[in-house]
Chain A
């Protein structure tokens, strides 16, 4: 299942990019590469924020002891 904890990683990477861009002595190509990656991640993070829908699952234990999850109708 798609893990929405992805947001946290996008944000962490984005912050790292900004830090590098501000602090490091990069050549232009390197800076551009970072910038482009930053823009990509920024867009993705925005999309996640705007388009995500809460998923709610009910977890039960089956007779064999395994965990099953089922969407809850809301």
Chain B
């Protein structure tokens, strides 16, 4: 006998898979183990059901006798009794939006089956996106909010708005089309899809399987921003990142320019230090060389120093620069222009000399003949000694 029922079980399990059925709960019994046993019936038929503790633990409460429910279940054969049974995986009361809930659960299950809910799929958002697309309605505040955040935080962006209806008849289809269009924008870095807050019904398009699949298919990383506090939409689940509002999505999309300015300043410091160290190494080598050779090398070094200085003068944030500590100074006009050439000086001209620890007022006494077009005036004894 067992051979027959075992075989029947295999056939049924393989042939039916997960199905959704609707019925009335009767003969409900919850065992101490936490498993639920009951019968589901409608006017035509009835079938025994079990819902294991691991599955029913997610439900807010046990169903009551006579309650109408939708269940997602796997049909099987209880081998010892040769009896058809449903192993219930999910249960949704038909009240409070039951059919919607069922559709949502079905869609979620389909997405899960295709691996689209796998956390390993989630892509990192680009650090410095240059081109961002946003699929949303032009009616709401969403676009305005995103624009104002981008403007403040990171205006190095082109925002492509792909307008679409986000609720009502045809919204799903329009959102999908807009998503596919966004995918055709060349060199796109990031896609935001969403809308401002609304009722559960208003937000429903973002629970559509088709929209979720279109989001998942995006070539570039996605942020889902469906304005809601508590519920998570299907779009949220498949997107690479989720934000509670469009503004929050924009915050997540771009860095803050203040913070980036800070790291640029740090890079500038490293740049200067890197060079200082490099020149120090060269100077030490020079010290070890013979006098005859030294003179030649000194000439090279001196020319190089002028180049360092010139480059450094362009680095406003770096002043006072390390280079200045070695006895060089930057001459600037009162207007702040770096004075690089003799032609910029006239006798009697007042200018500022920036040294290690601050500025000095200076005045041109005379313009003697020698050549030299350095941006730096250098104390001549230091020049003769070279540096190091």
Binding site for B on A (CB under 8 A): 1, 3-8, 11, 14-15, 17-18, 21-22, 26-29, 31-32, 35-36, 38-40, 42-43, 45-46, 48-49, 52-61, 67, 69, 72, 74
Contacts and interface: CB of A to CB of B under 8 A. Distances in A.
Contact of B155 (A17, A43, A52): A52
Contacts of B189: 5
* Interface magnitude class on chain B: 35 or more
B252 interface: no
Nearest to B313: A39
B271 interface: yes
Contacts of B260: 49
B274 A21 contact: yes
Nearest to A28: B282
A39 to B, nearest CB: 5
A24 B14 CA distance: 64
A48 B282 CA distance: 35
Given A5-B130, A28-B282, A42-B271, A56 B161 contact: yes
B275 A31 contact: yes
Interface of B: 126-131, 133, 138, 147, 150-151, 155-163, 181-182, 184-185, 187, 189, 257, 260-261, 264, 267-268, 270-271, 273-275, 277-279, 282, 300-301, 304, 307-308, 311-312, 314-315, 317
A36 B275 CA distance: 10
**Which DSSP category, helix, strand, loop or mixed, fits chain A's interface?**
helix
A51 to B, nearest CB: 9
Contacts of A5: 128-131, 187, 189
B271 A17 contact: yes
Nearest to B177: A61
B157 A4 contact: yes
Given A28-B279, A31-B275, A67-B185, A36 B267 contact: no
Given A4-B130, A7-B128, A72 B161 contact: yes
A43 B312 CA distance: 11
A49 B267 contact: no
Contacts of B274: 18, 21-22, 31, 35
A4 B156 contact: yes
Contacts of A59: 133, 160-162, 181-182, 185
B151 to A, nearest CB: 5
B159 A55 contact: yes
